């Protein structure tokens, strides 16, 4: 099986994403995670360009132990008219202390003349001298031919000369870059084939996603002969991002049969993608191929019916191979097969010959007309299905509730909730403060119940989302409230809908607690 080397530049190119700024600690954690996954190279940053990258390489030298991956420092060729031994960029790269380095140089004569303001001949010397200098210092040098594909279209002979200069200097890998992200896939394939016939040094590919083709272009480059792929996790990067390694790697392994990660490592792919998104403080796209929550989610009744018979009918890959899972979504588009499939998925016993599936489907359709949505709030869906299929124990009854929101002097706005509930033959009357009315209600309700159901003590509200369903109705519009709760082992979403945001939140909270009871099976009483 042919080996394709994975070169991750999340910590350098990914850090150029708008709105993302890694701390040194963030970069250390991501590097460790990528190494656990099994990537071959981790580009740590550009030493000498900013204090944070300098600190990262110092900290990495002291405390970053990589089992498989090679840490790479990044920089440019020497400046025009300056000897490599005197150049500050070269000094920064050497100070980073990594055995592997990547430097970039210009392969487009437009950049040579109008950006560097130097001659084509001097640019070739800059590339050759820089690579040779670092090689003599014992470094394994990779050369990024910046803007190569644009340069090749304008002047193919000169673009290739820049590659030869890097080869002659001792570069171990020459990486062809579509820096502006505008190349077409068919042209990427043709150019890589042509270059491979002229340059025997191993080739890599580094493309950007400005035309939404970075993944396809990277895969085409590998098919044409590149043995190294550069990219970022989740497609992070400047402008529209870099090639998304999270999509590229399973394509290489499961579609082309190439060696890039182990099959065991691939089972951690979805979790690693979520980890990086969390560090970046960005939401992972549900629709992200392979690892997104919706990547293997099936909604239409016809699709679900086919899936229950043969998963290959609507899935191109077993989701478990990449650490994801199949999901059956329930909505107004669902059919009886969807209900039965979802019941099996979430552990609700339902006789296929009974009429309950149809009744549940009708109930879901009616509620979605009112504004409910169960695709995210699967805990509410499970409760709905259980209530329709079996006797569900009533753990408590709401007798009364009140919420006050007030501003006290110069202090913050305070929310106070009062709830009166009946548990068996006992009445509990509880008051709690919260960050907002829904949080205050959550605190008061669980305070009343935790004496009877101690498991609620490990549960807390972790997220809260509000959606106005019909903006044209103004203050009379219905709102949909989604509440996320979690305990030590799990998290779940519930939903409520009402013209009153407090009531919508309350309905979602009741479901969240009822789900916890079901999850814990038999609540303990005092």
CATH number at residue 163: 3.20.20.70
Does residue 267 lie within any of the structural domains?
no
Does residue 53 lie within any of the structural domains?
yes
| CATH number of 450's domain | 3.30.160.270
pLDDT at 524: 41
Q: Are residues 436 and 352 in the same domain?
A: no
Q: Residue 15 in contact with residue 22, Cβ under 8 Å?
A: yes
Cα(386)–Cα(93) distance, integer angstroms: 62
- Which runs of consecutive H residues, i.e. helices, occur in 17-119? 24-37, 51-63, 88-96, 109-114
pLDDT tens-digit series, residues 368-394: 788 887 777 888 888 888 877 666 677
Does residue 279 lie within any of the structural domains?
no
Q: What are the residues whose beta carbons fall under 8 Å from the beta carbon of 428, sequence distance 6 or more?
A: 419, 420, 421, 422, 448, 449, 451
pLDDT band at 28 (very low <50, low <70, confident <90, very high): very high
Q: Are residues 149 and 17 in the same domain?
A: yes
Q: Are residues 222 and 117 in the same domain?
A: yes
> Structure tokens of 336?
């009886």
> Structure tokens of 198?
């002229």
Element (H, E) at 419: strand 413-423
Q: Is the pLDDT of residue 401 over 70?
A: yes
**Domain stops at, among 327, 355, 386:** 386
Q: Are residues 76 and 153 in the same domain?
A: yes
80-89, 130-139, 142-151, 405-414: least confident range: 405-414
Cα(200)–Cα(45) distance, integer angstroms: 28
Q: Are residues 416 and 361 in the same domain?
A: no
**Domain stops at, among 241, 261, 281:** 261
Q: Are residues 344 and 318 in the same domain?
A: yes
Does residue 376 lie within any of the structural domains?
yes
Q: Are residues 401 and 508 in the same domain?
A: yes
Q: Are residues 366 and 402 in the same domain?
A: no
Q: Are residues 380 and 514 in the same domain?
A: no
Q: Which is higher by pLDDT, 440 or 224?
A: 224
pLDDT at 523: 40
Q: Is the pLDDT of residue 108 over 60?
A: yes
Q: The domain containing residue 473 runs over which residues? A: 397-519
With b for 16 or more beta-carbon neighbours within 10 A and e for fewer, the 301-337 pattern comes to bebbbbbbeeeeebeebebeebbbebbbbbbeebbbb
Does residue 283 lie within any of the structural domains?
no
Gyration radius of the chain over CA positions: 29
Does residue 290 lie within any of the structural domains?
no
* Residue 330 backbone zone (phi > 0: left; psi -120 to 50: alpha; other: beta): beta
Does residue 268 lie within any of the structural domains?
no
Q: Are residues 352 and 437 in the same domain?
A: no
Most confident range, picked from 177-181, 458-462, 473-477: 177-181
Average pLDDT for residues 107-129, to the nearest whole number?
A: 96
The rounded percent of the chain whose pLDDT value lies above 90 is: 57
Q: What is the dihedral of CA 264, 265, 271, 274, to 10 degrees?
A: -160
pLDDT at 300: 63
Q: Residue 279 in contact with residue 11, Cβ under 8 Å?
A: no
What is the count of structural domains for the chain?
3
**Domain stops at, among 212, 240, 261:** 261
pLDDT at 144: 98
Cα(360)–Cα(383) distance, integer angstroms: 11
Q: Are residues 172 and 230 in the same domain?
A: yes
Task: Give, rounded to a whole angstrom, the gap between the first and last alpha carbons of the chain.
Answer: 62
pLDDT at 526: 39
Does residue 275 lie within any of the structural domains?
no
Q: Are residues 23 and 139 in the same domain?
A: yes
Q: Residue 374 in contact with residue 509, Cβ under 8 Å?
A: no
Q: Is the pLDDT of residue 282 over 90?
A: no
pLDDT at 247: 98
Q: Residue 292 in contact with residue 246, Cβ under 8 Å?
A: no
- The CA-based angle 24-27-30, given to 5 degrees, is 150
Average pLDDT for residues 72-94, to the nearest whole number?
A: 96
Quote the mean pLDDT of the chain.
Answer: 89
Could you tell me the CA-to-CA distances from 328 to 1, 55, 298, 331, 500 in Å, in that order? 36, 47, 5, 10, 30
């Amino acid at each position: 099986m042919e080996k394709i080397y994975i070169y991750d530049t999340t910590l350098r190119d990914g850090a150029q994403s708008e709105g993302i700024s890694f701390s040194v600690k963030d970069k250390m954690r991501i590097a460790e995670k990528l190494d656990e996954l099994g990537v071959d190279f981790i580009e740590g940053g550009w030493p000498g360009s900013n204090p944070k990258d300098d600190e990262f390489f110092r900290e990495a030298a002291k405390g970053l132990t990589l089992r498989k991956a090679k840490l790479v420092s990044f920089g440019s060729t020497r400046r025009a008219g300056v000897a490599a031994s005197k150049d500050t960029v070269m000094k920064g790269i050497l100070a980073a202390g990594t055995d592997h380095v990547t430097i970039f140089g210009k392969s487009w004569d437009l950049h040579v003349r109008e950006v560097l303001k130097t001659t084509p001949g001097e640019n070739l010397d800059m590339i050759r001298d820089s690579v040779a200098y670092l090689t003599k210092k014992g470094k394994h040098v990779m050369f990024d031919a910046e803007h190569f594909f644009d340069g090749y279209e304008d002047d193919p002979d000169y673009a290739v000369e820049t590659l030869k200069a890097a080869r002659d200097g001792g570069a171990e890998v020459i990486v062809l870059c579509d820096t502006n992200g505008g190349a077409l896939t068919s042209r990427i394939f043709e150019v890589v084939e042509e270059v491979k016939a002229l340059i025997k040094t191993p080739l890599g590919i580094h493309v950007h996603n400005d035309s939404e083709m970075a993944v396809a272009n990277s895969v085409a480059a590998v098919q044409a002969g590149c043995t190294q792929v550069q990219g970022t996790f989740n497609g992070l990067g400047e402008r529209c991002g870099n090639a998304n390694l999270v999509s590229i790697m399973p394509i290489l392994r499961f579609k082309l049969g190439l060696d890039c990660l182990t099959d065991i490592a691939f089972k951690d792919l979805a979790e690693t993608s979520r980890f990086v998104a969390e560090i970046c403080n960005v939401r992972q796209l549900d629709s992200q191929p392979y690892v997104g929550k919706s990547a293997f989610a099936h909604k239409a009744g016809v699709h679900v019916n086919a899936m229950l018979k043969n998963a290959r009918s609507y899935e191109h890959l077993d989701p478990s191979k990449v650490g994801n899972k199949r999901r059956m979504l329930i909505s107004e588009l669902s059919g009886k097969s969807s209900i039965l499939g979802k019941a099996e998925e979430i552990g609700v016993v339902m006789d296929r010959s009974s009429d309950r599936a149809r009744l549940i489907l009708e109930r879901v359709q009616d509620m979605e007309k009112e504004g409910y949505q169960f695709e995210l709030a699967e805990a509410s869906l499970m409760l709905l299905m259980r209530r329709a299929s079996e006797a569900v124990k009533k753990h408590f009854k709401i007798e009364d509730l009140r919420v006050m929101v007030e501003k006290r002097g110069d202090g913050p706005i305070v929310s106070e909730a009062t709830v009166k509930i009946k548990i068996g033959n006992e009445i509990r009357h509880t008051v709690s403060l919260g960050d907002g009315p829904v949080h205050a209600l959550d605190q008061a309700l669980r305070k009343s119940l935790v004496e009877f159901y101690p498991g609620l003590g490990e549960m807390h509200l972790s997220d809260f989302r509000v959606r106005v369903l019909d903006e044209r109705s103004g203050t009379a519009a219905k709102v949909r409230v989604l509440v996320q709760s979690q305990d030590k082992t799990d998290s779940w979403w519930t939903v409520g809908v009402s013209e009153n945001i407090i009531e919508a939140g309350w309905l979602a909270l009741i479901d969240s607690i009822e789900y916890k009871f079901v999850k814990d099976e038999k609540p303990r009483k005092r």
